[in-house]
Amino acid sequence: MKQSIRHFLSLLDLSPQEFKLLIKRAISLKNNRDPNYQPLKGKVLAMIFEKSSTRTRISFETGMAYFGGNALFLSPRDTQLGRGEPLEDSARVISSMVDCIMLRTHQHNTVTTFANFSSVPVINGLTELLHPCQLLADMQTYFELRGDITNKTVAWVGDGNNMCHSYINAAKLLKFNLNICCPKEFQPNSEIVQSAAQLITFFDNPTTAAKNADLVVTDVWASMGQEDEQKQREIAFADFQVTAEVMNQAKPDALFMHCLPAHRGEEVSAEVIDGPQSVVFQEAENRLHAQKALLELLLK
């Protein structure tokens, strides 16, 4: 294992200062697009997707292109990873030929193992536990529209999933208050909660959770890999939809975010996601700018 390699497996791989600098850098890259700035010329990013993706794939691939580098899309269907070649061997081989690896996979320990055996930086492009790249874009969007999020209140409504865990990590780094409202059987990981306990308040009703919030966030009821649980989850989460009534409890200038893809009529009403407080498309575009800032940090 090489200690000196800088990976991005969790937001907690950044210090609070680095997180804020990354957000500022992403905003600056967005506002000052310079086609001649190609800091990653000649660099190659391998992107391994064991799950579907629109935003993550396009933002990493175009981010590398804008920066003068290249990105390889590797699906397990077409590589020996899908036929059972050990992760450790795959990490050694792939990292011997590229400059950075992005991995979207199921279990979080797949990315940690991969990183342990990689000779280049590894980026977590989503696991069942965490989705740190999305938080770079979400926080960039909040900073662009409302300024610093420190001491503000974010309401998380829905599943205690990878996005919820990443919001907890973001709260810990940026020191915002987090109201969490999930069904009893779908609470977030208790160790992650414990690590930021003083910033978190639990609620069992979305309208109470959203009271005076500056930002309301949700995500799908059934994440990738949980498709078989869709019907059962629709019942469990029926009272956990972000509706206009929920948004009305938040501050009048509160924003609504969702990492997308969204299911209108499930975790969020069409009225909210397509309404004036929703910033989901700015949030999605910011995946590109935030990831360029991340690639620059890890690779330049």
286 sits near ligand CP (criterion: CB under 6 A) = no
Examine the residue annotation and report whether 181 is marked as an active-site residue of this protein: no
Q: Binder to ligand NVA among 13, 138, 219, 267 (CB under 6 A)?
A: 219
Q: Rounded distance, CA 246 to CA 82, Å?
A: 43
The binder of 54, among ligand NVA, ligand CP, none, by C-beta within 5 to 8 A per type, is ligand CP
Catalytic residue among 7, 25, 55, 104: 104
Q: Segment 117-176, which members bind ligand NVA (CB under 6 A)?
A: 126, 131, 161-163
**Interface segment toward ligand CP; rule CB under 6 A; list 50-58, 89-97, 142-150, 154-162:** 50-58
Q: Minimal distance in Å, beta carbon 133 to ligand NVA? A: 10
Closest CB to ligand CP among 216 and 249? 216
| Position 37, amino acid | Y
Closest CB to ligand NVA among 63 and 125? 125
Among 108, 114, 109, 130, CA closest to 14: 130
Q: Minimal distance in Å, beta carbon 208 to ligand NVA? A: 24
Q: Rounded distance, CA 284 to CA 130, Å?
A: 17
54 sits near ligand CP (criterion: CB under 6 A) = yes
Q: Segment 261-290, which members bind ligand NVA (CB under 6 A)?
A: none
* CB burial of residue 240 (10 Å; 0-12, 13-18, 19+): buried
H/E stretch holding 154 reads: strand 153-157
Examine the residue annotation and report whether 134 is marked as an active-site residue of this protein: yes
Q: Rounded distance, CA 108 to CA 112, Å?
A: 7
Tokens of 129: 């536990």
C-alpha dist (Å) from residue 257 to 7, 57, 179, 260, 277: 27, 20, 15, 9, 9
ω into 261 cis (within 30 of 0): yes
Catalytic residue among 7, 25, 287, 289: 287
259 sits near ligand NVA (criterion: CB under 6 A) = yes
Q: Rounded distance, CA 228 to CA 224, Å?
A: 10
**Interface segment toward ligand CP; rule CB under 6 A; list 51-59, 105-113, 238-246, 290-298:** 51-59
Q: Binder to ligand CP among 10, 20, 47, 56 (CB under 6 A)?
A: 56
Among 96, 73, 140, CA closest to 291: 140
Question: Annotated active-site positions, please?
Answer: 104, 131, 134, 219, 259, 287
| Chain residues that interact with ligand NVA, rule: CB under 6 A | 126, 131, 161-163, 219-220, 223-224, 259
Site residues for ligand CP per CB under 6 A: 53-56, 126, 134, 259-260
